[in-house]
A and B are shown apart, each in its own frame.
Chain A
Amino acid sequence: MRDLSLLVQMGFGALLALSVYLPLRCGQLSLATPGFYAIGGYVAALLSTRWPALSGGGASYPLTSLALELLLAALVAGAVALVLGRPVLQLRGIYLAIATIALVEILRVLNLNMAWSGGAVGIFGIPQPFDGPAGYALATGVLLALTCWLCSRLEAMRLGRAMSAIREDELAARCMGIPTADVKLIAFVLSAVIAALTGVLAAHFLNTWNARQGSFDASITTLAFVVFGGSRIWLGPVLGGLVITALPELLRPVGDLRLILFGLVILVGPILFPQGVITPEGLARIRAAVRRA
């Protein structure tokens, strides 16, 4: 049981890492992921606890209602990203990063103080669509698989190539006729939608949702997933998300030292693997070795 729960959380980690990876794929360091994750969670928490019609009559929460929540969360987060994206994406580099941290922080303070979000206590008793962690593991696995598929398709699509071109040199990309502002906006909106969908699943899984779910710490941890795993190919963030989420749990035997060791991993990771653990060249080498064997 506990192992399955950990697996679900690892899946969430991988999804959030992909949400950070998409803007980074076109060179934009956006740390807004936890904000959209929080939005998704609040959409799910509010709909499922305040709208009795969704709960149906049965013992467990209907899956159709969950699907409706996913759809609405994607729409809300996508709309917010669409509106905020234009002005925010005009910022570059560290300025963009800090503006998105500011967004996450403003949202957190609002959620902490507003009446409808349950204030500091948050929202409790979010109904369960699944009997146990197995159902959540399945749902998270499906969402992760779909997101991975989308990201791997990107490498072969016009959009994905345009993103790589912007990452290499935005000015040159614009000169070649790539609508850079639109491409960056699409990446930002996709990133927001992935984070919000993850938030919906997480709110049901955790059974409770509050302002602590989207904070600055989370911004940085998700960024660490991507930097650790590697930001050049989608497999990197997935691996980073899975491993770093599991790390504090795997380190539990060392007791009080575990968070110190966790910090050491994040400290040493970029020094040992400046490109991340997974790189396209590394993968090619592994593939060649497998073929030879």
Chain B
Amino acid sequence: MRESILIYRNHLYLKLAALVSLVATTAYVWHTPFERPNGGTWLGYTLGVVAGGLMIWLAWFGVRKRKYGIGKLRLEDWLSAHVYMGLALAIVATLHAGFQLNWNVHSALYVLMMIVIISGIVGVYFYIRFPIMLTENRRGMTAEVMLTQITDLDREIRQLAMGLDDATNAAVLKASQETIVGTTLFSQLRGFDEDCETTQARRFVEDSEGSGESTSRRQLLTRLVRKEELLKRIRRDVQLRCLLKTWLICHVPFSVAALMALAVHVVTVFYYW
């Protein structure tokens, strides 16, 4: 229906980023300094200014995203440009460094910046893939609707269990009281729980098949299976949304760290000039 940010405006920002990278690379190949290429030549300084400018501009996205109702461009333009310019930064900065890495603050900046860029690439993957995965997983329902359905199922399950033996009752009650979705970051990211109380209750009812009251037992089982299936989808939903959030939690602090390293880098360069 609509296009994604990668092909937005017929790849306008890809073309722009490619142009920046191409100019930088051509200049780098054409330029033959006295020593091996580094940030201290005139081209090195130029590329450094471009790279630093790009970094600050890329970080500005966080502010622009929260400035609402201003500017001529849509946020979609900004994000598309943010993605491609971020990739161009990797090239420009590498050329600025002249492919040199050492144990110093300058390389620390480089490493931090690359972490941010790589996490950005991961983010793009998430942004392109997850909406479809989320939608498919939800099948037209919202998380809230799924939870309401679970509550309804729970009520039915408890009612059915009332007419059954104590052990079944206890297992079912435990399932409805102790089934948990999410809580810790780890369990949210994991996205499934094979030892879920509901699964245990389902297994228990499956195993006790044949111990009388077969009709209610079968009804109970179908409801437990349905609840398990819903739980599976909710956990998946939580996982995907949590991934989107945690991803941002990685991307942003590293970019702040990279900005600080940029400041240190610039100060030390001029201090030791």
Do A and B interact with each other, yes or no? no
Interface residues of B (CB under 8 A from A): none
